[in-house]
Structure 1
Amino acid sequence: MYTEYEGIIFDMDGTLVDSGRLHQNAWTQALNQYQIPINFALMRSLAGVPTKETVDILVKHFDLNIQASSDEINEFKEAIVKETIHQYVKPTKLAEFARDNAGKRPMAVGTGAYTAEAKHILEICGLTELIDHLVGADQVKNPKPAPDTFLRCAELMKVKPEKCIVFEDAPAGMQAAKSAGMFVVDVLEVMQIKNDYFLE
């Protein structure tokens, strides 16, 4: 399966890991705490965008004047994620593909989550030993939808971007992969992996 590609890159949330409810719950509590409106379609469109950037987009979109910084809101949300993580996360069926390729081709996770949280989630799901490299949003200057995350994955794997395949579920991530010159698989369309995140 996809044997023509030398390096494999996975998005994490909604792709390699089923964590939609984890983030929906944390976001719902955080947005209610800071009186930011919740628009399901908008939140879903921002899947894959890091927390602080998402807050900035929401504040601008709703033309809000809030006292809290995006850092404070990020810390509030991440605290809820840490408290509830074991209740919600589990691997998707893409984990089988990762197991089949372990030790055969280099594999990386390129995520919009921050590195510490991503490491924790991969550990809980028993996926850490399968992944050679992890690139979180805090490791790059421009996170998704910019290509930096996936280009850094390719660099760490020592594989040319055009020889990489990316598995993604979110528009921001698919745009990032295409901008990086990589082949991208929409896991919903191809594998019926549906991210249960702010669904109507």
Structure 2
Amino acid sequence: MYEHVKDKLAMFDLDGTLYDTRKVNFMAYQAALKGFGFSLDMDFFYKKCNGRHYKVFLPVIMGDSKDIDEVNRIKKELYPKYLSDALVNLPLFTIIKKLKEQYYTAVVTTASRKNCEDILKYFGHTELFDLIISGDDTKNKKPDPEGYIKCMDYFKIDPQDAIIFEDSPTGIEAAIKSKASVFTVIGYS
């Protein structure tokens, strides 16, 4: 059987683009931090932590604690418990289903592979994506374009044949640096 080889690529950020996971991440981090004697304010998390790598924001909350990696590990385990609080960007998923006919589709996220796979599976979206590049797969996190470049290299697609959907300033900066076309996603709840 002939398999059509695609010559275009669409890449999607996870948190804030495909799903509004602010409350999911907040609840999981809040529960994980509580076990170590730290509290977490929702407003602070939304403004200062959400969308950033845990090694950037947990030291602000926990200081130089040796338990930062353990808090993140526990957060990843708790994450599925709160997935019912996530909101799906339904219009974007409608676009993805149409794009799949001519584009490879990929998730490129700073989130862990586990949490990315958890949410895709929870909402039945796993099969919509040909590849996942997670925070576990890159040395440099957004705003570095490494994840996007790695994805384009995987499919052997040049930036002029790639599009990226992003929501955060950090992600948009990474997308622009990759030289692909960038679509900004702004609130959809």
TM-score (structure 1 length as normaliser): 0.79
The one of 86, 89, 93 aligned to 2:86:
89
For 2:58, give the aligned amino acid. V
For 1:92, give the aligned amino acid. N
Q: CA shift at 1:108, angstroms?
A: 0.7
Contact 1:7–1:105 (8 Å) recurs in 2 = yes
Q: Is residue 2:8 matched to residue 1:10?
A: no
Q: CA shift at 1:33, angstroms?
A: 3.9
The one of 116, 132, 135 aligned to 1:134:
132
Indicate the residue corresponding to 1:72 in structure 2. Answer: 70
Q: Is residue 2:47 matched to residue 1:44?
A: yes
Indicate the residue corresponding to 1:158 in structure 2. Answer: 156
Rate the CA distance shift 1:36–1:147 in 2: closer, same or farther, 3 A: farther
Q: CA shift at 1:77, angstroms?
A: 1.4
Indicate the residue corresponding to 2:30 in structure 1. Answer: 28
Indicate the residue corresponding to 1:54 in structure 2. Answer: 57
Rate the CA distance shift 1:39–1:91 in 2: closer, same or farther, 3 A: closer
Query: 164-173 or 40-49: which moved more?
Result: 40-49
For 2:144, give the aligned amino acid. A
The one of 181, 185, 193 aligned to 2:188:
193
Contact 2:8–2:102 (8 Å) recurs in 1 = no
For 2:22, give the aligned amino acid. G
Aligned CA-pair RMSD: 2.3
1:91-117 deviation per Cα after TM superposition (whole angstroms, max 9, x unaligned): 312111001112321111001111122
Q: CA shift at 1:42, angstroms?
A: 6.1
- Answer 1 or 2: higher relative contact order, Cα 8 Å, separation at least 6: 1
1:144-187 deviation per Cα after TM superposition (whole angstroms, max 9, x unaligned): 12111111111122211233211111111111111212222111
Q: Is residue 2:147 matched to residue 1:149?
A: yes
Contact 2:142–2:171 (8 Å) recurs in 1 = yes
Which residues of structure 1 form unaligned runs of 5+? 195-200
Rate the CA distance shift 1:155–1:92 in 2: closer, same or farther, 3 A: same
Contact 1:166–1:185 (8 Å) recurs in 2 = yes
State how far apart, in whole Å, the 2-side matches of 1:103 and 1:157 are: 16
Indicate the residue corresponding to 1:197 in structure 2. Answer: none
Q: CA shift at 1:43, angstroms?
A: 4.2
Matched length:
181
TM-score (structure 2 length as normaliser): 0.83
- Other structure's SS at 2:10 match: strand
State how far apart, in whole Å, the 1-side matches of 2:97 and 2:127 are: 9
Which residues of structure 2 form unaligned runs of 5+? 1-6
- Other structure's SS at 1:165 match: strand
